[in-house]
Amino acid sequence: MGGTVDLTVEFTGGLEMLFSDQRKHKISIPAEESKGQPATVAFLIQWLCDNLMKDPRKEMFVLDDSVRPGILVLINDADWELEGEDKYEVQAGDNIVFVSTLHGG
């Protein structure tokens, strides 16, 4: 269809450094992947890497085709595992948060 989906993405736990030092971004992504499938979180992650991330250190965000270990993905305040992980199809208005775990104490 060629439409777009409006989402809010947030980066915390230090990940915001990779995204122009800005925590909250309002974005519009294609509603469909190249193969015509509805856009999933996996597609969103790739889209963020290609379009929103200005920092060249891609390995700090993605590793082996998914978010790197130590990053939690939250879909509307729930761990993404509760929502189908990267196969979750994004909906307009979704709030998707990427949290890097902290270790300091």
Among 8, 20, 28, 78, binds another protein (CB under 8 A): 78
- Specify the amino acid at residue 86: D
Least distance in Å: CB of 30 to another protein?
27
CB 44 within 8 A of CB 34: no
Residues 7-66 that bind another protein (CB under 8 A): 12-14, 23, 55-57, 59-60, 63
Least distance in Å: CB of 68 to another protein?
7
Strands, E assignment, the chain: 4-12, 24-30, 62-63, 66-67, 71-75, 78-79, 95-100
**Six token digits for residue 44:** 């969103």
Q: Longest Cα pair distance anywhere in the chain, in angstroms?
A: 49
Least distance in Å: CB of 18 to another protein?
9
> Under the rule (CB under 8 A), what is the footprint of another protein?
12-14, 23, 55-57, 59-60, 63, 68-72, 74, 77-79, 81-82, 97, 99-105
